């Protein structure tokens, strides 16, 4: 069939019968092909058009067979070109950018559609998480803490300006931006100029007429400057600040952030919390502004009240006292601070915070037990609330009860020194190490001790907050049995008791100075004398099962141990009973060396047990019962036990009275 071969769209049409005369004989060929509905209807229309044309009638009566074939080919080529014309026009328009190409689904478009669905799912997850974070932020303690921190900063601002101006400052109203007008980024020079402006406002104005005359007479230099042509200045870029901001965000947040557990790069929880905090920042600011306005009004009302006149007292004649010479002379604080650094008394704090101390809470009832020991987690919270927050804020330190000394007692390796360094790191305090082992052979004699006392008094008060650490403080209060030990009689460390006592007596309310003692052998010290210097006592016991489990989880979640062990953490916490956090860390370090981890074979429990046995405390170490007995003998715990006995007696008397009724 000629038309089926020349026209590819007609190849599915039934060819019918084809006859050709060759030498008086006829050859008949019939081709049957499955026909589609669309091609049949299309070809039927073409055939009807061709049959109705004039050329068809001429072809029927023409005896030349080849001429008929040429007519058929010419017609069908014309029909094919007519059918292909829209597609060709589409391609030409697309090539000339007059029309966009048709969207043909390819592998790239399919992948793009799947990425869009994933992106939409992540956006839905992000917005749902934001909704839950908003509810948690307003209903939880984070909003209250932000409000409290903002109020503390504003109260400190009020106190500082009152000291400078001798009067309460004017709080900016809502049109000026409230407290946002106070928290502007200023350089040191701008702050000094603001303070000088405040001082000039209080001083009486002198020579105002002279200043006006100077202003009326312009100088010749000013005229020359005005006549000169203005220099071309480069306009500020609109994109550079945004690029600098993005670079700072990357350096401060993303540069050191490791996310092995987030390969799909989903939502970042910390950034989502910051976004929620930024949404509610304005509402919290308005609430704090209203509170500060009422507080300032109350303080002004108190200042206006008439103060009682002091009674006149006749001055008594006092004998002139001998003025002692200052051993420091005219030395500045920076020189003294440098001397203490060189001598090793001021030390660097470790790169840790209180959040690095892991543990689980103790759920026992403190009122119903004769002995109650807190977990490291609860001791950390107590240190932060009782001593850390007053060290950070002068307002809190002056308004709360004065607590300037604490004793941390417990076995070796439970985290006592780590707590001290974490407290200094969080509060920004300078750490002064006056441990007996470090002060051996230094500042001998009474004059040298007085010189050291004057050094510490000047530096600790002028560069607050300050933390004074006394490690192995049991050596300062040895018993008769302990004096026979060689490490006690060396250099007579008892001489530092007098210095520390004088130093703490000179501390008054408002001095943010904290004395911390650490001991792991309080059995060889006089408990009463030691607790007289260190008024608050915290006992850090051996870690319990919950704390040990938290320690194992913390040590195995590091970068080098994550996913490289096959032991059960719960069983390891049970097997490590009696071990401290330091012992557990040392056992893991002995086994998980760099060569062992490079083998890509997971660490098994059988490998850690010999290392744990090597780190296990010796039998000579004090047991938990001995520590409990000593802790109950301290004055603080005896006073607590007496208070609990009184409460129990009252409860029993009330119960008996209720039974009689």
Phi, psi of 287 (to 5 degrees): -65, -45
pLDDT tens-digit readout, 407-443: 998 888 888 899 999 989 888 888 998 888 888 888 8
- To the nearest whole number, what is the mean pLDDT of the chain? 75
Q: Which two tokens stand for residue 245?
A: 């901001």
Residues 357 and 471 in one domain: yes
> Residues 422, 523: one domain?
yes
Higher pLDDT, 614 or 619: 614
Count of Cβ atoms closer than 10 Å to residue 14 Cβ: 15
Residues of the domain holding 587: 545-622
Confidence band of 312 (pLDDT split at 50, 70, 90): low
- The predicted model scores a pTM of 0.50
Share of the chain above pLDDT 90, in %: 1
Element (H, E) at 99: none
pLDDT given at position 365:
47
Predicted confidence at residue 25, as pLDDT, reads: 37
198 or 58: which leads in pLDDT:
58
Residue 524 lies in a domain: yes
**Measured distance CA(259)–CA(50) in Å, rounded:** 73
- Note whether residue 237 is domain-resident: no
Band of pLDDT at residue 306, cut at 50, 70 and 90: low
Structure tokens belonging to residue 243: 């690029």
What percentage of the chain carries pLDDT values higher than 70? 73
Helix (H, G, I), strand (E, B) or coil at 106: coil
The reply to whether 254 falls in a domain is no
Does residue 370 surpass a pLDDT of 50? no
256-265 pLDDT per residue, tens: 777 777 777 7
374 and 510 inside one domain:
yes
266 DSSP 8-state letter? -
Judge if 173 and 280 occupy the same domain: yes
Tens digit of pLDDT for each residue in 481-540? 766 666 555 567 788 888 888 888 888 777 888 899 999 888 888 888 888 888 888 888
Q: How many domains does the chain have?
A: 4
Q: How far apart are CA 104 and CA 517, in angstroms?
A: 77
444 & 382 share domain: yes
Q: In angstroms, rounded to a whole number, what is the distance separating the alpha carbons of residues 520 and 529?
A: 17
CATH for 554: 1.10.8.60
pLDDT of residue 311: 58
- Which of the listed residues 282, 301, 320 is the one where a domain comes to its end? 301
If you write DSSP's letter for every residue of 131-149 in order, what string do you get? HHHHHHHHHSSHHHHHHHH
d(CA 472, CA 340): 21
348 phi, psi to nearest 5 deg: -75, 145
Band of the pLDDT at 18, cuts 50, 70, 90? very low
Report whether pLDDT(9) > 50. no
pLDDT value of residue 139? 76
Average pLDDT for residues 48-61, to the nearest whole number?
Answer: 68
Instruction: For residues 18 and 145, state if they share a domain.
Output: no
| 459 located within any domain | yes
Output the pLDDT for position 3: 40
**Within-domain flag for 234:** no
**261 assigned to some structural domain:** no
- Rounded mean pLDDT of 268-285? 83
Coil, strand or helix at 302: helix
- 409 and 348 both lie in a single domain: yes
pLDDT of res. 83? 85
Q: Are residues 562 and 523 in the same domain?
A: no
The span from the CA of 483 to the CA of 474, in Å, is 11
470, 505, 539 - which closes a domain: 539
- Non-local (6+) Cβ contacts of 156 within 8 A are 393, 394, 395
398 and 495 share one domain: yes
One domain, residues 602 and 517: no
Residues 491 and 359 in one domain: yes
**Hey, is 320 helix, strand or coil?**
coil
Whether 137 contacts 278, CB under 8 Å: no
Do both 557 and 474 map to the same domain?
Answer: no
Joined tokens for residue 317:
């004649």
Ordered DSSP codes for 561-617? TTT-B-S-HHHHHHHTTT--HHHHHHHHHHHS-HHHHHTT-PBPHHHHHHHHHHHSP
Distance CA 177, CA 493 (A): 58
pLDDT band for 221, please (50, 70, 90 cuts): very low
398: pLDDT strictly greater than 80: no
Tell the burial category of 423 from Cβ atoms under 10 Å away from its Cβ (0-12, 13-18, 19+): buried
Last residue of a domain, one of 539, 567, 599: 539
Q: Residue 326's pLDDT is what?
A: 65
Q: Is there a domain that residue 478 lies in?
A: yes
Q: Does residue 105 belong to any structural domain of this protein?
A: no
Q: Provide DSSP, 403-447.
A: --EEEEE--TTSSHHHHHHHHHHHHTPEEEE--TTTSTT-S-HHH
Give the SS3 label for residue 238.
Answer: coil
Do 372 and 366 meet the contact criterion of CB atoms below 8 Å apart? Answer: yes
Rounded distance, CA 26 to CA 39, Å? 30
CATH of the domain at 344: 3.40.50.300
């Amino acid at each position: 069939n000629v038309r089926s071969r020349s026209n590819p769209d007609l190849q599915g049409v039934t060819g019918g019968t084809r006859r050709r005369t060759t030498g008086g004989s006829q050859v008949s060929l019939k081709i049957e092909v499955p026909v589609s509905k669309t091609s049949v209807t299309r070809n039927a229309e073409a055939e009807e058009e061709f049959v109705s044309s004039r050329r068809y009638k001429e072809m029927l009566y023409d005896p030349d067979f080849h001429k008929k074939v040429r007519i058929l080919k010419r017609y069908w080529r014309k029909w094919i070109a007519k059918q292909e014309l829209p597609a060709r026009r589409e391609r030409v328009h697309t090539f000339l950018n007059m029309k966009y190409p048709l969207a043909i689904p390819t592998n790239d478009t399919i992948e793009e559609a799947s990425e869009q669905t994933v992106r939409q799912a992540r956006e839905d997850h992000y917005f749902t998480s934001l909704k839950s974070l908003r509810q948690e932020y307003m209903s939880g303690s984070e909003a209250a803490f932000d409000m409290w921190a903002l109020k503390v900063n504003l109260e400190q601002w009020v106190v500082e300006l009152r000291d400078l101006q001798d009067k309460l400052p004017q709080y900016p109203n809502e049109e000026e931006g409230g407290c946002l007008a106070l928290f502007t980024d200023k350089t040191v020079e701008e702050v000094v100029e603001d303070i000088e402006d405040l001082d000039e406002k209080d001083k009486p104005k002198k020579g105002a007429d002279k200043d006006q005359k100077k202003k009326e007479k312009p100088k010749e230099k000013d005229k020359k400057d005005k006549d000169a042509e203005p220099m071309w200045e480069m306009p500020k870029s609109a994109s550079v600040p945004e690029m600098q901001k993005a670079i700072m965000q990357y350096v401060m947040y993303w540069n050191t952030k490791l996310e092995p557990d987030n390969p799909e790069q989903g939502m970042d929880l910390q950034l989502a919390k910051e976004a929620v905090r930024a949404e509610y920042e304005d509402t919290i600011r308005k609430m704090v502004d209203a509170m500060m306005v009422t507080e300032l009004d109350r303080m002004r009302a108190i200042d206006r009240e008439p103060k009682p006149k002091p009674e006149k007292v006749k001055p008594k004649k006092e004998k002139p006292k001998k003025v002692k010479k200052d051993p420091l002379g005219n030395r500045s604080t920076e020189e003294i601070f440098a001397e203490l650094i060189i001598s090793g008394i001021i030390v660097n704090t470790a790169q840790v915070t209180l959040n690095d101390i892991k543990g689980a809470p103790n759920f026992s009832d403190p009122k119903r037990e004769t002995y109650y020991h807190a977990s490291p987690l609860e001791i950390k919270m107590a240190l932060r609330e009782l001593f850390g927050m007053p060290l950070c804020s002068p307002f809190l330190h002056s308004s709360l009860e004065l607590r300037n000394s604490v004793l941390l007692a417990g076995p070796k390796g439970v985290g006592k020194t780590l707590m001290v360094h974490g407290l200094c790191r969080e509060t920004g305090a300078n750490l002064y190490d006056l441990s007996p082992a470090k002060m051996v052979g230094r500042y001998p004699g009474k004059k040298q001790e007085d010189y050291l006392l004057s050094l510490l008094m000047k530096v600790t008060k002028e560069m607050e907050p300050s933390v004074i650490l006394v490690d192995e403080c049991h050596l300062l209060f040895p018993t008769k049995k302990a004096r026979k030990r060689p490490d006690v009689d060396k250099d007579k460390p008892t001489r530092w008791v007098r210095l520390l006592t004088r130093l703490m007596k000179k501390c008054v309310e408002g001095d943010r100075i904290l004395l911390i003692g650490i001991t792991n052998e309080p059995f060889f010290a006089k408990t009463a004398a030691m607790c007289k210097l260190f008024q608050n006592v915290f006992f850090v016991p051996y870690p319990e099962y919950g704390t040990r489990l938290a320690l194992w989880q913390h040590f195995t979640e590091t970068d080098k141990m994550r996913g490289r062990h096959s032991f059960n953490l719960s069983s390891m916490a049970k097997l490590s009973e009696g071990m401290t956090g330091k012992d557990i860390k040392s056992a893991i370090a002995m086994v998980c060396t760099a060569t062992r981890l490079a083998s890509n074979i997971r660490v098994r429990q059988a490998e850690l047990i010999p290392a744990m046995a090597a780190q296990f405390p010796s039998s000579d170490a004090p047991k938990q019962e001995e520590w409990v007995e000593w802790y109950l003998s301290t004055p603080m715990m005896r006073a607590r036990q007496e208070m609990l006995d009184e409460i129990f007696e009252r409860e029993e008397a009330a119960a008996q009275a209720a039974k009689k009724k």
